Structure 1
């Protein structure tokens, strides 16, 4: 029986979450476009589903299987910031439709698709908790530096998506919790080009990020649904 469902299971934070919960005796199910990784060999407590989210029939079938075990905790870990060809924009003159579309596809459209298909299950699951990984730079109020146009815009849109979905969910299931969470700057491929600029002590190992997210998940309550939370559980402004 899987108690934790992790969507976007191949990323650094998602991988760390899988290890964290497995080490603490939890059954875990992970969904990813990637095949089951070699490091998961012998992990009998880990169910891994490789699925193309654009294949609606296949995705619906996988989700039905996942929710047959009534997971108590769900993480959506999709995220994209850059590629070798597309770095975060420093000026609006660098903004392209291609880069904006890529950011929206991964950071907004993908979690939106999963939330849409999961919602009928979430309506019925008592005390279920859903944590969607977002970013502090998606806060409009907190933005004092500018730049990173497509990433900021996609994460701000994600925060609004989750806020709106949380209202619908609360009407049908008052015991459910749905929030966005800023995991903090984590050593990963996503942050690799920018780690040199991170103040000393702020760059976190993925295992530490996973532990902090698990701490937030353990204490978050239904009345906090719709909020954007920091890695320490504090509320961040929209």
Structure 2
């Protein structure tokens, strides 16, 4: 492997992963709507399209042609998709529901757009590369709260549902991918609780030692990626590599 593609690279985890792999001497392809706030000769930036509203995915065919051309040239063997969303501050505040009465169409639509539709958009666009690249590894960041069997607390209706759908989508895609590329591995990955803007409002009651820095999270996820085998394809994995229940 000579290069890594990081989708959603401007997120806290995405940026930490980019820095981790650059330190390892690899080329990193930074795919995001936002540019990196640091520079490195091995960092290659691709501007992501804005998809804030429903759009015709076919209209972005030229964008993915460019992305695939770049990843082929750089011989990308590892892809992280770090796109995800949990809450919105400001005038139009949106927070995870503590009860069903707090659910709203605005919250549900945005949660599904950023936690399901966008990841699927990139998976579909990169599919021609995934089906033809020997040994390719694709890790889609998800969340443990998307596990239906693990849900003992309730709440967070929209976020749980979006992540559960994402986990199912990746599981189903992994079955299809195996038919054309038996050497590929496609998984969902729970990154743990990372000290970031996404988790900031929910850190107060965390058990001691549970909150990780972005650099710590990147190190853990890179270790999972390094140990990823074909037989793991379709699984939901924890940040320490353990298999989580769907």
TM range (shorter): over 0.9
Q: Which residue of structure 1 aligns with residue 232 of structure 2?
A: 224
TM-score using structure 1 length: 0.96
1:62 to 38, 59, 66: 66
Note if contact 2:143-2:191 (Cα within 8 Å) is conserved in structure 1: yes
2:221 to 210, 213, 216: 213
Note if contact 2:61-2:125 (Cα within 8 Å) is conserved in structure 1: no
Q: Deviations over 1:92-134 (max 9, x none)?
A: 1100111011011011000101111111111110001000000
2:175 matches 1:167:
yes
**Structure 1 runs of 4+ with >3 Å offset:** none
Counterpart secondary structure, 1:61: helix
Q: Which residue of structure 2 aligns with residue 40 of structure 1?
A: 38
- Number of residue pairs matched by the alignment: 235
2:131 to 123, 126, 134: 123
In the TM superposition, what is the alpha-carbon distance from 1:2 to its structure 2 partner?
A: 5.5
Q: Which residue of structure 2 aligns with residue 82 of structure 1?
A: 87
Distance 1:70 1:100 in 2: 38
TM-score using structure 2 length: 0.93
Q: Which residue of structure 2 aligns with residue 5 of structure 1?
A: 5
Note if contact 2:195-2:213 (Cα within 8 Å) is conserved in structure 1: yes
Note if contact 1:104-1:154 (Cα within 8 Å) is conserved in structure 2: yes
2:190 matches 1:182:
yes
Q: Give the gaps of 5 or more residues in structure 2.
A: 52-58
